[in-house]
Structure 1
Amino acid sequence: MATTSRSREPAVLAARRDALQVDARAGRIRRVLAIRFSRLGDVIFTTPALSLLHERLPGVCIDYLAGGPAGALVRHHPAVNEVLRFEPGWHRPNWVLRRPWLVREIARRGYDLALVFESDQPTRDWLERVCARAGVRHVMSRSSLVQPAGLPPAVHSCEKHLRLLTPLGLVPDARPYEVFPGPEDIARADALLRAHAAEAVRPLVGIQAGAHYTRFPDRLLRSVGLRHKTYKAWPAAHWGELARRLVAERGARLVLTGTAGERALAEEIAARAGAPPELAPLVVAGATSVGTLAALVARTDVFVSIDTGTMHLAAALGVPTVALFGPTDSAHHGPYGQRGTARVVRSGIACSPCKKPARKACTLNRCLAELEPKQVLAAVEELL
């Protein structure tokens, strides 16, 4: 069904929901396509919905359409049958050029239901049209969802995704997000640790200090008023002090993760740690695949990160996680469902968290600059 103003009218949405419920009760929902483009954390946020669907409707076959390497995070998920990868790039005309291929791929698999987990409305609308063109019988997204009666408004992104399953008669429950590394990635991660004599050193502490828009070039970000996510950054000097104290006081071996664009920052933190040769930090920023990164993070004893996808990766793997939050709201984007194994640390200043317009205009980043290393270290100590 094409996305139009009429298709968003309450009566039309209710009719679509009722038709889906009829097919679900009759057992006619057999093949489902879950769709989420974008980054690591965005894909991880969909995993509670995948688990609920797999558990409550065990006969349903679920495929996953991902927009990049983040699809590796659900390749070994028990609920997922196959991961399809669609990479049109950031240049919008590429989406038009590759649309026929995507329509054919979806059509030949004969899906009964598409769950479009996208938060960006233009992308969501485009995907709804693609699925309708491919003959998918039912397409559900936030745009087509009627707020279920008797349920409070969803707050966290995971909860918003879980709500897409309510037309199937599935009541959302509290369940964590989860990631399952594959055996080949586990083998690569273990080999990497052995090569650096790090597998036997404890504690092994992971650090993710950067959060970049890795999919988009700088000139595009500037054209739409964005910058690489420096508003989430904790000062390098603070990271260095935390690293130094972890090495000196706990004898920790550090594993510094990130993208290739964050490698310089990771190397700076490693240098500031002042570690002896036997505890030299392992810098893997830009040197691993997403799957190997997941397996490597799973080997750490505690993971310290700003608000980024790797933080969610650590929490989803069950690794004790310390999450540094400043301008963003942990109620919406914080560790989800990890009872007792995650700590959110803030400076506590009054303007944090803030809304996006203020976030873009702020150049001081006081909410993170005033978060002291001793506060973060105390949270790490609680979890070690």
Structure 2
Amino acid sequence: MQRVLVIRIGRLGDTLLATPVIEALRQAFGPGVEIDFAASPGASAFILDLDKRVNRVFPIAHRSTPWRLHRVKRALERHSHQFPYDLVINLECGHECDDFIRFVEHDKFLGRPLVETQHRKERHCVDTEKSIYADFLGRDITREAGTSLKLKLDTQQLLVPAGVKYLVINPGFSGLGKAGYRSHRAWPESHWLRLVELVRKDSGWPVLVNGTAAEQTFFPGLLEAPGVHSLMGSSLPTLVQALSNAQCLVSVDTGTMHLAAALATPVVALFGPTNPQLTGPYSKKVASKVLVSGVDCQPCVKTAAQRKCTLNRCMTGLSPEMVYDACLQVVPA
């Protein structure tokens, strides 16, 4: 039996975009391959712990902390000496995890610091990560792998009756409400309200609104609209079940978008300042639709243009009618 450690220490979206390696490993070594992950604590570690294909998760907070001062890193080091890894795959592009090669007992190591891995704006970040292991696991195997989850979950009680079709929308994103943070990824609440109106008028579907508990204050009118049910502040298992049974998710660029794609739920993704070629939904099993308004300054993330932006044309230019039409295109007939 092959034993593998995958290193990807990031937010939930980053973790979900790393999941193609799981299926690639299972195709290369068989379903009995033992896959461990070094991942961020919180939602990233939690979702991997729920995945039936993952053996063990080492939640690494503060990845730059020296090994001798880091309890979980020391536990991983001891574990690897007792059960050496046949393969370690470092999917990080930064240098913070370069020292795993020194402390983790292994036979074969892929990724930094042995090779420099850099994201390119014209290539999806998943394809960049795949380039680390494609030659070793097989290019055909790697090419076919998409984001996926195989979760062990208890049934959660949802806000809509069993058998009723519904839509999930995700208007919030990380950073919303933080002091000094410009909400360039936001779609106006008036647009969300119009989308709900279109859905209710045309299909009659209820609409579930996802977000953190803190985000409720940003969308008061949306949460009070007819036919809307709030998922805000719900647990991750509840969100997983809601997405798994939904007709479609409409979301701005955030981790929930990648969660739906990994669960094989159709996605309509609204992109503004960020680059969908780099971080768009990446599923091989279900249709997704990425919408961009096509203004000349797009994408602008982390540029002077974004810092100076006051109109947010790239998001306001996406009409609710356009978004609803996209929903109808991706929802199974």
The TM-score by the shorter chain falls in which range? 0.7 to 0.9
1:202-234 alpha-carbon deviations (Å, 9 max, x no partner): 2x00000011148xx947xx6xxxx26x11111
Q: If the length of structure 1 is used for normalisation, what is the TM-score?
A: 0.75
Alignment of 1:207-218 (within 5 A): 207-213=169-175, 218=178
User: d(CA) in 1 for partners of 2:170 and 2:11?
Assistant: 15
1:379 to 2:332 alignment:
no
The more displaced of 163-172 and 323-332 is 163-172
The correspondence for 1:334, drawn from 249, 267, 280, is: 280
1:40 to 2:12 alignment:
yes
Aligned pair count? 321
The correspondence for 2:184, drawn from 231, 242, 245, is: 231
Structure 1 residues 53 and 350, CA, compared in 2 at 3 Å: closer, same or farther?
Answer: same
1:323 to 2:269 alignment:
yes
The correspondence for 1:126, drawn from 96, 99, 103, is: 96
- Equivalent residue for 2:315? 368
AA in 1 matched with 2:70: R
1:7-36 alpha-carbon deviations (Å, 9 max, x no partner): xxxxxxxxxxxxxxxxxxxxxx93211122
**Gap regions ≥5 residues in structure 1:** 1-28
User: d(CA) in 1 for partners of 2:122 and 2:237?
Assistant: 30
The more displaced of 44-53 and 162-171 is 162-171
Alignment of 1:177-326 (within 5 A): 177-184=147-154, 187-188=155-156, 191=157, 193=158, 196-202=159-165, 204-213=166-175, 218=178, 227=181, 230-271=183-224, 273=225, 275=226, 279=227, 281-288=228-235, 290-326=236-272
Structure 1 residues 153 and 379, CA, compared in 2 at 3 Å: closer, same or farther?
Answer: closer
Residues 185, 271 of structure 2: 8 Å contact kept: yes
- Equivalent residue for 2:74? 103
User: d(CA) in 1 for partners of 2:150 and 2:216?
Assistant: 26
Alignment of 1:43-82 (within 5 A): 43-58=15-30, 60-68=33-41, 69-82=43-56
The alignment yields a C-alpha RMSD, in angstroms, of: 2.9
The more displaced of 262-271 and 158-167 is 262-271
Residues 35, 65 of structure 1: 8 Å contact kept: yes
Larger radius of gyration: 1
Structure 1 residues 197 and 325, CA, compared in 2 at 3 Å: closer, same or farther?
Answer: closer
Residues 243, 270 of structure 1: 8 Å contact kept: no
The more displaced of 154-163 and 337-346 is 337-346
Structure 1 residues 163 and 239, CA, compared in 2 at 3 Å: closer, same or farther?
Answer: same
User: d(CA) in 2 for partners of 1:181 and 1:340?
Assistant: 18
Q: Percent identity?
A: 27
AA in 2 matched with 1:249: D
User: d(CA) in 2 for partners of 1:101 and 1:333?
Assistant: 29
Deviation at 1:374, TM superposition (A): 1.0
- Equivalent residue for 2:302? 356
Q: Which runs of 4+ in 1 moved over 4 A?
A: 95-98
